[in-house]
Structure 1
């Protein structure tokens, strides 16, 4: 069994209105040292080993469902879980 931690964020060229709103709110709360905020999504997937490599499966899941590849980028970490 494997644990895949998937992080999805907007690409640099895409506006992030929620991130901007959070950034503005932090400035209003006197956190002036915050330069920018990026809002994203986080997923944890427990995946059983199969015929297809785990990384290939996670890439396919991200491309097909978890991320909008036109607007978002993703990265992931895979670790093997002990039984």
Structure 2
């Protein structure tokens, strides 16, 4: 069963209070190598059929129309998870 992953992030010009809070926590923990944090959303859609181009096109449309708020968010990727055969672990 293929899994299609959709990643959505706030637009660059939109304030990200969650990201700002995490950035502040990292700084308090002495993790000064990070200059910023942005927090987005990840959706995983599983299908019984093949993840062919027609299905990916449908998912891209759903991502823009339903999974994201186009006023404040961008769909940054739609991809198919590389799944290992059943029983195999990483």
1:29 aligned onto 2:40: no
**TM norm structure 2:** 0.76
Shift of 1:2: 3.4
Partner of 1:77: 79
Trace 1:56-71 onto structure 2 (pairs within 5 A): 56-71=57-72
Gaps of at least 5 residues in structure 1 are none
Shift of 1:78: 2.3
Counterpart CA distance in 2 for 1:44 and 1:8 is: 12
2:31 is paired with a residue whose SS is coil
Shift of 1:60: 1.7
Moved over 2 A (4+): 78-82
Shift of 1:70: 1.3
2:24 is paired with a residue whose SS is helix
Partner of 2:88: none
Q: Which has the higher strand share?
A: 1
Change (3 A) 1:61 1:30: same
Aligned residues: 82
CA RMSD of aligned residues (A): 2.3
Kindly provide the CA deviation profile for residues 29-82 of structure 1, in whole angstroms up to 9, marking residues without a partner as x: 110111111101111101335xx8112211121122111111111111125877
